[in-house]
Structure 1
Amino acid sequence: MKYKVYTQLFLYASCLFIMATSCASKEKKENTTNTTQTEYEQPNILFFVADDASMKSFGAYGSKYIKTPAIDALAKEGATFTNAYNCNPKCAPARACLLTGKYSWQLKEATNHNPYFPEEFKFYPELLGQQAGYFTGFTGKGWGPGLYKGKHNPAGPEFNKHEKKPPFKGISKNDYAANFADFLSQKPEGKPFCFWFGVFEPHRRYELDSWKKTSKQLADADVPPFYPDNETVRGDLLDYANEVEWYDTQVGRAIKILEEKGLLYNTLILISSDHGMPFPRVKGQIYEEGFHVPLIAYWKGVIQPGRSIDDFVNFPDIAPTFMEVAGLKPHEQMTGNSILELLKSDKSGQIDASRDHVLLGKERHDVGRADDEGTDLSYPVRAIRNKEFLYVHNIKPERWPVGNPEYGYLNCDGSPTKEYLTALKPDDKEYHFYEMSFAKRVEEELYNMQNDPHCMNNLALSPEYSDVKQKLRTQMEKELIAQGDPRMLGKGNVFDEYPYFGKRLNYKTGERYLVPDSEKPNK
């Protein structure tokens, strides 16, 4: 009898032990699974980049007359950077900085617009594919304009076969979202993806007065103080607004596709633009609206909603960020610094005290600049921007900043606004608007960005700001020398000597013509 009781007790205890062991094993397995997903599962990367959209053109940055609900919703649920910059405010050089993680003046030929991209540089999509197994691709506009050697655009393999009829004539027929869906349908099971979603909008040309087909009114437009306030300018801004809104529509469609495929939870989404709007004194120019770009980050479960980040970040920081997100160390060529820690932080405002400024610059953008030194010349500028000031050094102030007037100021896209400004005469009361956009500039410029965000009042010649100016110039040049900038090392003429592979200018007739294929390097 006693033996039977002991046997029953032993069996009961054994059952309890087995149950406890089983539960503990199950709990350990579940915890291991969660740890693996959190720490080791590679996130997807989706990068949206507009072509020529100013930061202030989005609701998340204060725009009232341009409606961007899809982008604004992501900003509300993610993080908005208030001090993001593009390093060089023109399509090809800005995108080169994004793809390589290098500062513009470190990219040899790719410092210029419409260049031949040197073969020595690596691109983050290629690196993610080779080293981390990412499925990569792009739609719309990748890197360009210019020539490159290789099977694919530096932004990755092309997905551009789907088209649809756009609402206005100036908008591309590219069905960006359908091409993104096509990309995802071809993605191998279990592979993370990295996709460059590059719309062509709001690049010119626009359908003239397309705004009249919408509910927009001339009174809605927000006219910057460096333009005259008239119907021509207002109408031009509203036509531009239509194309920014089209960009927002494409973002919204892409996000819906992610949701439907269950991919939104583990995808880092960045939204930006390569530079400011294609208007005089903005695109291609070293003034605030030309190089201050939108940057919105969304990453469900990682980025806390509603954050506003004031740290200064620059386009060279994007590539190393994507490398770290993928679990890789940034490539040795990358001189930018990852912003991953900023994304993961739970703070708003200034997070990293060392991120208190950015360096900016440009060399040759479009052709149409000539003098006794030659033709196809650059307009070299270097600048430094911190929280309070923008200091600009126009290294060759004797040259025309937007190109020679006799050739049509070719570093400014054609537009009704440009036509109005360039038609002004010296005795017109609005002539100062022409001068702000197209006239030659003094060697040094200094602007108080707290009081003068539109860069209207140059303080460089004011004695009370001489110390500030010198301090900023010294800091800028010291950092540029450390980065090997040829302009700081007495070798700046190299930027004028690099060939141009876009439309070349006949300096006798003033006409532009395509570079013959015989003069182009083989791809």
Structure 2
Amino acid sequence: MNPSQTKSNRCSIVLYAILFFTLFLGYSQKSVEAKPPNIVFMIADDWSYPHAGVYGDAVVRTPTFDGLAKNGAVFENAYCAAPSCSPSRASILLGKYPHQLESAGNLWSVIPSKFTNWMRMLEDSGYHTGKSRKGWGPGDFEAGGYSNNPAGKDYEDFDAFLEVKGKDRPFAFWFGSQDPHRDYETNAGAKTGMDVNRVSVPEFLPDVSCVRNDILDYYYEVERFDRECGNILTKLEREGLLKNTLIVMTSDNGMPFPRAKANLYDYGTRMPLAMYWKGHIEGGLRIKEFVNFVDFAPTFVQAAGLPQQAEFSGNSLLPLFDTEATKAGRDMVFLERERHANVRKGNLSYPSRAVRTHEYLYIQNFEPDRWPAGDPTVHQSVGQYGDVDNSITKYLIMQGGGNPEKDTYFELAFGKRPPEELYILEKDPYNLRNEANNPKYASALNLLRKHLIGWMENTGDLRAREPQTNYWDEVLYTPNYQMENKDISAEIQAYKQLVRDGGGFKDRSCLE
């Protein structure tokens, strides 16, 4: 072999080596990128939009949520499928609307294991899965065929979950806080330095100091949820896991105040939502398209690289993070509720369905003769108007039922509602003035009615065929606590005494 051939061969070897390492490195990089992501789902219990700093709330401090929004995406129009814990969480896990989930359309229900569960899909594909604190519920999952909570095997906390994960194994973790669910520690918010005078009181609640103080106590628990989520993110970063983890932070239903939780109005169904996934979600995205929580299941399945399930009613959210992609089909969202608590004689539901667009909220109430917040008389229930959690705000409004200046709040919170409701959101962001009988909006109402009926029919809603069906009135109710007759007059007197004793309320006349 002459010197020129030797030199040529050496050059070829070098070129092949360069090519090999280039291809190898490229393949390795693709392999790293193709690794299924970890998933961390962090869900509050009774937290409403817009109570976070990134949404413009000037009082509550939510640095973790705001940080996820800054470095990922924040959603302006995210909605739970139902404004009640169990059906909302069932829809999240199973990717179907509550009316498609048999008894799981109710609170304190049974959740059937026959439906595809994204957490179980991930576990079957090799993921380490688990939860801490509140998963699906309240209800009976064992009666439905589950051996563990549908959100995963229970762990004391995130640290305990990671300890048994195994090296290089992807994981899916559900953190379910009980905050900001009631009961609250009175004055907890004020003691942290939050200013009661800066609270923005929703217009369906009386703007008096004791209501403002109640909202501060709610904020206190929102802030605690935010801190605990921050601790999880800190752990991820310390363990080097943050770079390939899809993080979701949200709530299951609205704030525990009258006309919010357990209602299809915005303060019952519109949720805070932020998502982060480094390299996949551009920082600072503000997504205005409508999202329903049935979309979480197909999102997580797609992110994990698993086959999409035809039975899911939702659609993956991942295309929303492509800033150049067309995002058709997200100009409205459908909402519903059945039975929340046992608060009507005969344990009856208050069935409603709704469609929400950027311009309108349209609601159908199928049993308008029933009390939407529960019966005014006490029977075997949690108290009068029992779908509204007991609180100083609730008691204040109940006392105002005979006061002409406060009757509006009473009717909004507890009064019966007509078969149809229509709210014009630009003029009425708090959903206070029903325009269903206004001829000016007749064409809009007819179109919304058609959209709602079409959705009900397409998703197999029993109420599309039998509007007054008693199915959800009769399915099993499984409370794990002793129900009791409850007279709230003693509690009202206790709150009055708290005010007289200087319980932190500047306006001492608000309960008189």
The two structures have a TM-score, normalised by structure 2, of 0.91
Residue identity opposite 1:37 in structure 2: V
Residue 154 (1) aligns with residue 150 (2): yes
Give the direction of change, closer, same or farther, for the CA distance of 1:446–1:191 in structure 2 (3 Å limit): same
How do 1:92-491 and structure 2 match up within 5 A? 92-130=86-124, 132-149=125-142, 150-160=146-156, 179-343=157-321, 345-347=322-324, 351-370=326-345, 375-407=346-378, 408-490=384-466
Residue identity opposite 1:60 in structure 2: V
Q: Pick one of 60, 69, 74 that aligns with 2:68.
A: 74
Query: Which deviates the most, 327-336 or 377-386?
Result: 327-336
Determine helix, strand or coil for the equivalent of 2:140: coil
How far apart are the structure 2 equivalents of 1:484 and 1:300?
38
Residue identity opposite 1:117 in structure 2: I
Q: Pick one of 456, 461, 471 that aligns with 1:494.
A: 471
Residue identity opposite 2:226 in structure 1: D
How large is the RMSD of aligned CA atoms in angstroms? 1.7
How do 1:500-515 and structure 2 match up within 5 A? 500-502=477-479
Structure 1 residue 430: Cα displacement: 1.3
Give the direction of change, closer, same or farther, for the CA distance of 1:511–1:222 in structure 2 (3 Å limit): closer
Give the direction of change, closer, same or farther, for the CA distance of 1:506–1:72 in structure 2 (3 Å limit): closer
How far apart are the structure 1 equivalents of 2:82 and 2:268?
9
Runs of 4+ in 1 over 3 A off after TM superposition: 503-507, 509-512
Determine helix, strand or coil for the equivalent of 1:30: helix
How far apart are the structure 1 equivalents of 2:113 and 2:160?
29
How far apart are the structure 1 equivalents of 2:487 and 2:209?
31
How far apart are the structure 1 equivalents of 2:326 and 2:270?
19
Structure 1 residue 353: Cα displacement: 2.1
How far apart are the structure 2 equivalents of 1:68 and 1:351?
32
Structure 1 residue 511: Cα displacement: 8.5
Paired position in structure 2 for 1:32:
27
Determine helix, strand or coil for the equivalent of 1:359: strand
Determine helix, strand or coil for the equivalent of 1:334: coil
Structure 1 residue 503: Cα displacement: 6.0
The two structures have a TM-score, normalised by structure 1, of 0.89
Is the contact made by 1:367 and 1:504 (CA closer than 8 Å) also made in structure 2? Answer: no
Matched positions, count: 479
Structure 1 gaps, min length 5: 1-5, 161-178, 513-523
Structure 2 gaps, min length 5: 379-383, 489-512
Residue identity opposite 1:90 in structure 2: S
Structure 1 residue 37: Cα displacement: 2.1
Is the contact made by 1:134 and 1:193 (CA closer than 8 Å) also made in structure 2? Answer: yes
Q: What fraction of aligned residue pairs are identical, expressed as a percent?
A: 39
Is the contact made by 1:368 and 1:505 (CA closer than 8 Å) also made in structure 2? Answer: no
Is the contact made by 1:505 and 1:511 (CA closer than 8 Å) also made in structure 2? Answer: no
Give the direction of change, closer, same or farther, for the CA distance of 1:313–1:212 in structure 2 (3 Å limit): closer
Residue identity opposite 2:460 in structure 1: G
Paired position in structure 1 for 2:381:
none
Structure 1 residue 116: Cα displacement: 1.4
Structure 1 residue 238: Cα displacement: 0.5
Give the direction of change, closer, same or farther, for the CA distance of 1:9–1:504 in structure 2 (3 Å limit): closer
Determine helix, strand or coil for the equivalent of 2:389: coil
CA deviations on 1:394-429 (whole Å, 9 max, x unpaired) are 111100000001121110111110011111132341
Is the contact made by 2:319 and 2:327 (CA closer than 8 Å) also made in structure 1? Answer: no
How far apart are the structure 1 equivalents of 2:392 and 2:487?
21
Give the direction of change, closer, same or farther, for the CA distance of 1:135–1:506 in structure 2 (3 Å limit): closer
Is the contact made by 1:403 and 1:409 (CA closer than 8 Å) also made in structure 2? Answer: yes
Structure 1 residue 294: Cα displacement: 1.3
Determine helix, strand or coil for the equivalent of 1:271: strand
How far apart are the structure 1 equivalents of 2:192 and 2:168?
44
Is the contact made by 1:309 and 1:351 (CA closer than 8 Å) also made in structure 2? Answer: no
Residue identity opposite 1:495 in structure 2: W
How far apart are the structure 1 equivalents of 2:353 and 2:108?
20
